[in-house]
Structure 1
């Protein structure tokens, strides 16, 4: 293996993350751009609103795979710290995709896929933290910002100090920055806010 090859893995992660499946699926099914309605983001929940639950489930699985595959590949070739960077780049690609004018999703599913590739327990802890914050804060964007910031300390406190902690640090930073765009968004519901909700105040 050349020394240059591991450096290419984060680029692969970003390109995988940039595959805009929600845009492609809604364009195929409904002939619309998923970003033109609902939340305005290329997400699973927005796909469900516009194309139905089945198509949304497909997008969710594909978005998980965007994080899982490049991260798993980096781990398999023995590059754990490169895997953490690759995971963060995959999430960044999902949020700001080069193949969709840098207007993508919010990164949660891709983050979940990357964590599943590294450590199932870390995935469960981070998912539980996000769920707890959503139920406590009752505002999904703000809860996601807090989850992005708190994921790494939570893993450290629970003595999960493998590469998943460092991956959570990078991905959490991306998630926190990305969700700031919806900090003042008004939600009628927690995750499936409706199209006629006010996007921003």
Structure 2
């Protein structure tokens, strides 16, 4: 029952459609129909050109992950699998919120919020990989996709080290790898469309240069 209740806590908290409610209230904008349609901080900023609103959305989405882990830790104790299931639930329902017809954001802020309390090494590795990836292509979506994919791979290849510095640690390295990669897979799925669009633009630029 602990797993079910922890998952429900994550799903309920994560489903709060931050960007949709804030932009609808302040700007009378339906974020699901504006810009990329993504219900997250980046699209909120791009649509409104307001750093304040973009940051506000990011902070609240970050807190959704943080509060999920904090609440479940206090209710059910330091059991990695139970806590991680709740965070997976929060990330999933953030990405596919039932309040807005299963639309949502891409899950990064919510995942980061949970990881900041559960596993700083995972968050630190992701940020480092993002910086390297972004420097290589100068594209946020490429950085997001690459860092998430590589962190998922490292959760298997370096699970012993990453699990050791996670609080609480998983009962086994395989449990750690599977649950972490499952959360990252949700994030990757939400990045398929923007990464395909990015490479399509790159291919178009390449063809245009060849035809000059």
Q: Deviation above 4 Å: which 4+ runs of structure 1? A: 163-167
Contact 2:122/2:151 (<8 A) preserved: no
1:1-201 equivalences in 2 (<5 Å): 4-51=1-48, 52-76=50-74, 77-78=76-77, 79-154=79-154, 157=158, 159-161=161-163, 162=166, 163=169, 165-166=176-177, 167-186=179-198
Contact 2:32/2:38 (<8 A) preserved: yes
Secondary structure in 2 matching 1:185: helix
Contact 2:94/2:104 (<8 A) preserved: yes
Contact 1:85/1:170 (<8 A) preserved: no
Q: In angstroms, what is the RMSD of aligned CA positions?
A: 2.2
Structure with bigger gyration radius:
2
Partner of residue 196, structure 1: none
**Distance change (3 Å), C-alpha of 1:17 and 1:143:** same
Residue 172 of structure 1 deviates from its aligned partner by 0.8
CA distance in 2, matches of 1:135, 1:98: 36
CA distance in 1, matches of 2:139, 2:22: 27
TM-score, normalised by the number of residues in structure 2? 0.77
**Distance change (3 Å), C-alpha of 1:173 and 1:135:** same
Residue 129 of structure 1 deviates from its aligned partner by 1.5
Unaligned runs of at least 5 residues, structure 2 = 171-175, 200-212
Residue 39 of structure 1 deviates from its aligned partner by 1.8
Residue 97 of structure 1 deviates from its aligned partner by 0.4
Residue 177 of structure 1 deviates from its aligned partner by 1.3
**Distance change (3 Å), C-alpha of 1:50 and 1:145:** closer
CA distance in 2, matches of 1:160, 1:185: 33
Residue 113 of structure 1 deviates from its aligned partner by 0.4
CA distance in 2, matches of 1:175, 1:137: 20
Contact 1:22/1:47 (<8 A) preserved: yes
Q: Deviations over 1:111-133 (max 9, x none)?
A: 10010120223312212212222
Partner of residue 208, structure 2: none
The structure that is helix-richer by fraction is 2
Unaligned runs of at least 5 residues, structure 1 = 188-201
